[in-house]
């Protein structure tokens, strides 16, 4: 069953067109949707689940750039599609997902014939750009302890994550996360266990 907010708004003729062309893909957790350097096959639409997009530096350290969820569009792919250059980041399925791949030809047709589709794509682009600008500012200027705090506040206890994974979320080194967390534990703000952070209120 293919349902995606951007497809729902299409006129019936185009919707049929889409349904004939694309096939839904099941993406198990851990699956890599694309890797850095790979060419782009089409525009993925996420039907359900979440996919994280991350980038790896020369020294092997990674940072999560943003996430895609239900009804999202992998806008990043459009650029690759247009220019023919490979992806610069990689996409990892976080929660088991379903997606469809819109090939180049169909994408052009949709852009041509549906103002709603165009709007959806533009909005998605705007959001990504915004996300990335915010991220640049965070990484360039904000203190790590603040960012860690914020990250923790935004979820519910207990958080099941390793220090290494958390380091990738924040774009820092594992040791830095370990030390900051230990400090928080000394202050009584969290309780640490292997792969698990319990938020013990204030």
Partner DNA sequence: CCGCTTCAGTGATAAAGTCACACTGGACCG
Partner DNA sequence: CGGTCCAGTGTGACTTTATCACTGAAGCGG
Residue-wise DSSP of 103-151:
EHHHHHHHHHH-HHHHHHHHHHHHHHHHHHHHHHHHHHHS-HHHHHHHH
Please tell me whether residue 144 binds DNA under the rule CB under 7 A.
yes
**40: helix, strand or coil:** coil
* Binding residue (CB under 7 A) for DNA from 20, 194, 201, 202: 194
For residue 129, give both structure tokens: 């750009």
Residues in 158-187 that interact with DNA by CB under 7 A? 162-164, 171-176, 178-182, 185
Q: Residue 130 CB, nearest distance to a copy of itself (Å)?
A: 6
Residue 13 binding: pick among a copy of itself, DNA, none (C-beta 5-8 Å cut-off by kind): none
Residues in 172-201 that interact with a copy of itself by CB under 8 A? 172
* Binding residue (CB under 7 A) for DNA from 31, 104, 109, 196: 196
Please tell me whether residue 95 binds a copy of itself under the rule CB under 8 A.
no
The CA-based angle 172-173-176, given to 5 degrees, is: 95
Q: 164-185 burial, b if ≥16 CB within 10 A, otherwise e?
A: eebbbbbbbeeebbeebbeebe
Q: Residue 53 CB, nearest distance to DNA (Å)?
A: 20
Dist. CA 107–CA 128, nearest whole Å: 19
Please tell me whether residue 160 binds a copy of itself under the rule CB under 8 A.
no
Q: Residue 168 CB, nearest distance to DNA (Å)?
A: 11
Please tell me whether residue 134 binds a copy of itself under the rule CB under 8 A.
yes
Determine phi and psi for 66, rounding to 5 degrees: -170, 175
| Interaction site with a copy of itself (CB under 8 A) | 55, 57-59, 61, 63, 65, 75-76, 78-80, 82-83, 88-89, 108, 111-112, 115, 118-119, 122-123, 125-130, 132-137, 139-142, 171-172
């Amino acid at each position: 069953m293919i349902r995606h907010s951007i497809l729902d708004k299409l006129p019936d003729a185009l919707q049929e067109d889409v349904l004939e062309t694309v096939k839904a893909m099941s993406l198990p957790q851990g699956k890599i949707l694309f890797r850095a350097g790979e060419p782009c096959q089409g525009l993925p639409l996420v039907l359900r689940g979440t996919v994280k997009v991350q980038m790896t530096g020369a020294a092997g350290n990674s940072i999560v750039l943003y996430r895609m969820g239900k009804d999202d569009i992998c806008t990043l792919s459009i650029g690759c599609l247009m220019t023919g250059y490979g992806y610069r980041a990689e996409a990892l399925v976080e929660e088991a997902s379903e997606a469809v791949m819109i090939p180049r030809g169909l994408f052009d047709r949709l852009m041509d014939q549906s103002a709603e589709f165009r709007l959806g794509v533009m909005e998605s682009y705007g959001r990504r750009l915004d996300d990335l600008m915010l991220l640049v500012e965070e990484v360039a200027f904000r203190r790590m302890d603040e960012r860690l705090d914020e990250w923790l506040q935004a979820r519910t206890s207990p958080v099941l994550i390793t220090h290494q994974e958390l380091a990738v979320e924040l774009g820092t080194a594992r040791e830095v996360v370990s030390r900051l967390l230990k400090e928080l534990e000394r202050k009584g703000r969290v309780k640490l266990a292997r792969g698990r952070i319990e938020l013990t209120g204030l």
